[in-house]
Amino acid sequence: MLEGVLLAFDDEADPARRLATAGGWPCRLVQRHRFPDGEFKLRLPLPLPDRVIVFRGLHQPNEKLVEILLVARAARELGAKHLTLVCPYLGYMRQDIAFQPGEVVSQRVVGRFLADLFDAMVTVDPHLHRVATLAEAVPVKAPVVISAAPTLADWVAQERPGALLLGPDEEAAQWVAQAAARHGSDSAVCRKVRHGDKQVQIELPPVAWQGRAVVILDDVASTGHTVALAAQLLLQAGAASVDVAVTHALFAGDAIEVLRRAGVGQVWSTDCIPHPTSVIPMAPLLAKALEGAWSRA
């Protein structure tokens, strides 16, 4: 066990405490007060050891980035010599190039912002497209990525033995391949054509779907429309059941209801984002990854 303290916020206290227990670190909450004009006043627990872990997921990220800035700078001033950010969901990764003149490449801006604050970072399945590694997006000294795919595969094997694992689009192929390899599961990937945030076309792969249990597996689910469309097509093709397993349960708005109306049975997610569907804890993997990050930074 490496000595340190884990700092967290009250809205993520449960997953943070699970991580602290797995790693053997004390977990302390940052006290927050919001002024009438929206500004934060934060108070860090004292004293701070040399190594400090900041646990903050970047779903609904804008105010959290301000919190991270305030906590990291204050921790340095209060004596912390090594700062690690544990960010189970890393926001602002989708905009990795400027598609039109004048567009801000937010991945580059936010990535450098975080790298200026922390010595190391641990995250889970970052949503990277044209950038191959986390180090390119967030140039900290010790960037560590872990995948939830094997853990999702273990859950699916327990709940739906023999199910076929299906990626809703080509971007999910890498996670589906990892998960399928875990237990030798059958797998396939859909083809998606997107016409907007809520307008997509899905083509099922050529598989005999009749009577099959299918689990749609993805790294992130937001509106739920892509997964819902895939579920509808699967049930029309004769699938016996369709469930969903996802790493990052953004599930904005009525996403869960959209899935239910499409015929989805169970929805399972990790606790990377606190959500009613969160049944798969990532603490053991995050604790192990943290020790690896500390050994590199």
Report the catalytic residues. Answer: 192
Distance CA 109, CA 119 (A): 17
**Residue length of the chain:** 297
Distance CA 289, CA 135 (A): 15
DSSP string, 175-188: HHHHHHHHHT--EE
Q: Among candidates 164, 160, 191, 168, which has minimal Cα distance to 180?
A: 164
Tokens 């853990």 correspond to what residue? 151
Contact yes or no for 247/270 (Cβ under 8 A) = yes
3-class state of residue 121 by DSSP: strand
Distance CA 6, CA 4 (A): 7
Residue type for position 32: R
The helix, strand and coil proportions of the chain, stated in percent and rounded to the nearest 5, come to 35, 25, 40
* Cα 64 off chain centre by: 15
Tokens 């590694």 correspond to what residue? 133
User: Phi and psi at residue 255, in whole multiples of 5°?
Assistant: -55, -45
How many Cβ atoms are within 10 Å of 285's Cβ, its own excluded? 19
Per-residue tokens: 166: 């299906």
Distance CA 8, CA 31 (A): 9
Sign of the C-alpha dihedral computed for residues 126, 128, 134 and 139 taken in this order: negative
